[in-house]
Structure formats: C-alpha cells, structure tokens
C-alpha cells in the first residue's frame, strides 16, 4: 500500500468519524429539546416573561438544533461549529506499523534475477569464445594438412609366374596389372654349373614336345628352350620341380600345354637317367598366382606357359607326379 493510498484511507476514516460525531450530537440535542418541552407544558408559561421560541439559544453553552433536511456541513463549518477535533485511534494499529513495502522485496528479487542473468550471459560468452577459437584452430590445421604435399607412393613390385611371351620392356598384362607387375626374375642370374642330376631334356609325346632344358626362366633363358626355375628341385627328387616355356614365340614349345589331361606322360632326362611323371591336373590361373612355385613334400613337376594363345593374360599350369 502506497503513502497516497494510506493518506486517502485516513482521510475517509476521519470524515466518517466526524459525521458519526455530528449525528450523535444532533440526537442528543433533539432529546434535550423534547425534555424541555415536556417541562414547559407541565408548569405552564415560564416565569418572568414570554416563552422562548423553538430554536432560540437559551445560554451560550447550548447548541442550535439542525433541521432534518439540513445538508452536510463542510470541514470549515464543522471546525467553526464544534471547534478543533482529532481522530480517535483505531482499534488496530496495523496502519501505524507500516509493513515493509512489497516493492522493496520485489526490488531485491529483481536484482537477484538480474545478477543470475548476467552470470549466465557471461558464461555463454565464454563458451562462444572458446568454440570460435577451437574452430579457428581446426581450420588452420586443415589448411596446413591440405598444403602439405602428399608423398607419392611407389607401387610394390608384384611377382609373376615365368613363361611370359612379352619382353620385360613391353606391357603384356591387363590394365589392372600394368605399372605394378614385375617379372619374378627381372635380372639375369649366373648360370650355375650343371651336375649329373640337372635336367637337360624334356619330352611330351601328347603335344609333340622334345626340347632342351636350360637353367633359369628369365626372358633370355627362355629363348634357348624350356627353363628350369632356379631354386626348384631336380628331376626325381622330393619337392617341386618347376619348368616353363613360351607358347607363341621362340619356337612355341608349350603352345599346346593346355591340352594335357590327367594320365598323360612327361619324361625329363638327366645325364644319368630319365624320370617319368604322370599329369594329375591342368588349370588356368592369374599371372600373380605364384603359389604354384611353392615347395612340395612330394616329388612333383610343374609346367607353366602363357594363355590364351597370342593374348597371354593368364597362365596354364600343369602339375604331374613322379611315377616309379
């Protein structure tokens, strides 16, 4: 409640008390007048002269009686008529003890909310600043990574099976292998001294093959005949003896190698004796299928050449077992 509202309430209370007091005085005067008239009627005319008229003041202490239709008096008229007066104390002193203003409590609450908002705004500003800094750092690192030249990876050479009909200088493989495939023996090896157990001749009656066997299966060696893969076993020994030859150049020795079937006979000669092998399987593989060169626990013979004829994208591999 504001000061203005309190003053207005006090003023209304004061006016109400004044009107109540004026009404009480009027009732007292009316009752006194009635008593006086009864006394006059009983005693008759007053002694010592004519009777007084109604409404005349008998003494300075008596008050004039107001007519019923007399309007309410103003504050100034009341003060002139009844003299100065004061408000009686109220029954409750709640108005005297003014409670703390709700506006003051609301002001403290507003200040607290404002402080919380300022702290939240400051925290948000810190988060935005840190996010912006992190984003700039990441962008800078990204630019550095993009500007750093990437090392050019050199493709690792992939070993291929021997017997290719193309010169090492020519590209004879499909596009997938071009540029990454290298011959298994790109550098000519020194021809070792042949012993009595080394193969010197191979005969395959089924496909009309009768050719010398030379040590090594590189490009130059296969010009001379069937090449014995260096490191593989000799005829008749336990292990994998690998030989290869061309199918469309330098005599086309293994042109019909793919026609061999299980049960066909292959003879390999040394200086001392001949060894008979029997074909077990014939299959077509990729040039990179070098697993056919792996050693074996059994005495076998592996024959390799290019396939198909004049295309040379794959290899024909014939596996034969030693027959005693």
Identify the band that residue 22 occupies on the pLDDT scale cut at 50, 70 and 90: confident
Cβ neighbours of residue 314 under 8 Å, at least 6 residues apart?
A: 284, 285, 286, 287, 306, 307, 308
Looking at the chain, list the stretches that DSSP marks H as alpha helix, in order from N- to C-terminal side: 3-43, 75-82, 102-147
Report helix, strand or coil for 285: strand
Q: What is the mean pLDDT of the chain?
A: 76
Enumerate the domain spans of the chain.
Answer: 1-26+65-98, 196-323
pLDDT in the model for residue 52: 43
What is the model's pLDDT at position 79? 64
Question: Three-class SS of residue 131?
Answer: helix
Q: Is the pLDDT of residue 61 over 60?
A: no
- Is the pLDDT at 190 greater than 60, yes or no? no
20 vs 304 pLDDT, higher one = 304
Tell me, rounded to whole angstroms, the distance of Cα 124 from its chain centroid: 22
Model confidence at 8, in pLDDT bands (50, 70, 90)?
Answer: confident
Per-residue pLDDT tens for 246-261? 998 889 999 999 999 9
Which pLDDT score is estimated for 301?
A: 97
CA-nearest of 212, 245, 253, 232 to 301 is: 232
- Residue 283 — pLDDT band, cuts 50, 70, 90? very high
Question: What's the pLDDT at 261?
Answer: 95
Fold assignment, 196-323: Sortase; Chain: A; (2.40.260)
Reduced to 3 states, what is the DSSP secondary structure of residue 278? strand
For residue 4, the model assigns a pLDDT of: 77
Which residues make beta-bridge pairs with 275? 268
pLDDT of amino acid 302:
97
Sequence-ordered list of residues with C-beta below 8 angstroms from that of 221, at least 6 positions apart, any chain: 188, 214, 215, 227
Task: Between 183 and 242, name the one with better pLDDT.
Answer: 242
């Amino acid at each position: 409640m504001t000061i203005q509202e309190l003053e207005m309430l006090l003023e209304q209370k004061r006016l109400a008390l004044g009107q109540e007091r004026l009404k009480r005085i009027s009732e007292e005067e009316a009752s006194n007048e009635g008593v006086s008239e009864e006394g006059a009627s009983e005693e008759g005319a007053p002694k010592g002269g004519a009777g007084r008229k109604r409404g005349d003041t008998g003494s300075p202490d008596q008050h004039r009686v107001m007519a019923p239709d007399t309007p309410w008096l103003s504050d100034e008229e009341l003060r002139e008529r009844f003299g100065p007066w004061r408000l009686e104390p109220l029954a409750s002193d709640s108005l005297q003890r003014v409670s703390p203003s709700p506006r003051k409590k609301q002001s403290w609450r507003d200040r607290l909310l404002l402080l919380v908002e300022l702290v939240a705004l400051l925290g948000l500003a810190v988060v935005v600043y840190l996010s912006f800094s992190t984003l700039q750092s990441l962008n800078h690192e990204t630019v550095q990574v993009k500007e750093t030249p990437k090392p050019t990876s050199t493709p690792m050479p992939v070993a291929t099976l021997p017997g290719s009909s193309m010169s090492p200088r020519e590209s004879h493989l499909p596009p997938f292998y071009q540029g990454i495939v290298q011959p298994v023996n790109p550098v000519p090896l020194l021809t070792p001294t042949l012993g009595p157990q080394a193969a010197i001749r191979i005969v395959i009656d089924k496909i009309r093959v009768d050719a010398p066997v030379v040590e090594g299966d590189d490009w130059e060696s296969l010009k001379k005949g069937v090449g014995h893969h260096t490191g593989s076993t000799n005829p008749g020994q336990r292990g994998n003896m690998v030989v290869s030859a061309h199918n469309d150049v330098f005599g086309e020795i293994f042109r019909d190698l793919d026609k061999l079937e299980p049960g066909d006979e292959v003879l390999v000669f040394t200086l001392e004796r001949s060894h008979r092998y029997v074909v077990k399987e014939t299959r077509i593989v990729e040039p990179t299928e070098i697993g056919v060169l792996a050693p074996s626990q059994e005495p076998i013979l592996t024959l390799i050449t290019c396939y198909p004829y004049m295309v040379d994208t794959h290899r024909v591999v014939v596996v034969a077992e030693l027959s005693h």
